[in-house]
A and B are shown apart, each in its own frame.
Chain A
Amino acid sequence: GDSVTQMEGPVTLSEEAFLTINCTYTATGYPSLFWYVQYPGEGLQLLLKATKADDKGSNKGFEATYRKETTSFHLEKGSVQVSDSAVYFCALLNYGGATNKLIFGTGTLLAVQP
């Protein structure tokens, strides 16, 4: 079945460091891909998305490119801030496939130190 695998955390970085959080997926067809962010005590918020191969989603300095050839959707940011500390979830939606639901990875905790 469809699945998402993302790198385990926690990831600890200093402010202004470069961030990469890896995400790979397994799915039939052409899923949409998402990154969600969860700040402490809050629900999940959409960070960015891409709906087809080679699309690049971007928001708040974060970027991710839908790579069908490597089935990946890695999250990157050039210079992280303390306020970026949160849990990041990679997810896919394969509407019309076996199920019409968001499938999430396990989440990666990012801690940015000043």
Chain B
Amino acid sequence: DAGVIQSPRHEVTEMGQEVTLRCKPISGHDYLFWYRQTMMRGLELLIYFNNNVPIDDSGMPEDRFSAKMPNASFSTLKIQPSEPRDSAVYFCASGRPEVGTEAFFGQGTRLTVV
């Protein structure tokens, strides 16, 4: 398996624009997690899905953020409108916690909002 695949690896956008981050989890994993990492706040869990259903979105910072998982092999995290304070590295991870395994992380998307 190729692992968790995220795209794009880097994104630079202007304030006010819509940004969509994409993630393909590892096949067979039924949990998918979106994290955000910044120097100030460290690693934050934004939302996670189980079998494509959002379970906990309490980490989503505000209504400008939304996430979807239309099927088992694809998820998106959308920011609309984007703001400079959204600049961070966004990670997607997948796993099977029901069997005690770890989460596998993608390489991340580095987002810069100018």
Contact = CB atoms under 8 A, between A and B. Distances in A.
Interface in B64-114: 91, 93, 95, 97-98, 100, 102-108
Chain B interface residue bracket vs A: 20 to 34
Interface in B33-55: 33, 42-43, 45, 48, 50, 55
Contacts of A32: 100, 102
Contacts of A95: 97-98, 100
B75 to A, nearest CB: 15
Contacts of A46: 102, 104
A99 B98 CA distance: 11
A49 B56 CA distance: 25
A107 B107 CA distance: 17
A93 B107 CA distance: 21
A93 B91 contact: no
A43 B97 contact: no
B102 A102 contact: yes
Given A95-B97, A99-B56, A106 B42 contact: yes
A102 B103 contact: yes
A44 B88 CA distance: 15
B108 A43 contact: yes
A93 B104 CA distance: 13
Contact of B107 (A34, A42, A51, A100): A42
A44 B56 contact: no
26 contacts: A32-B102, A34-B102, A36-B102, A43-B4, A43-B91, A43-B105, A43-B107, A43-B108, A44-B93, A44-B105, A45-B105, A46-B102, A93-B97, A93-B100, A100-B98, A101-B33, A101-B48, A101-B56, A102-B33, A102-B45, A102-B93, A102-B95, A102-B102, A104-B43, A106-B42, A106-B43
Interface of A: 32, 34, 36, 42-46, 49, 51, 89, 93, 95, 99-102, 104, 106-107
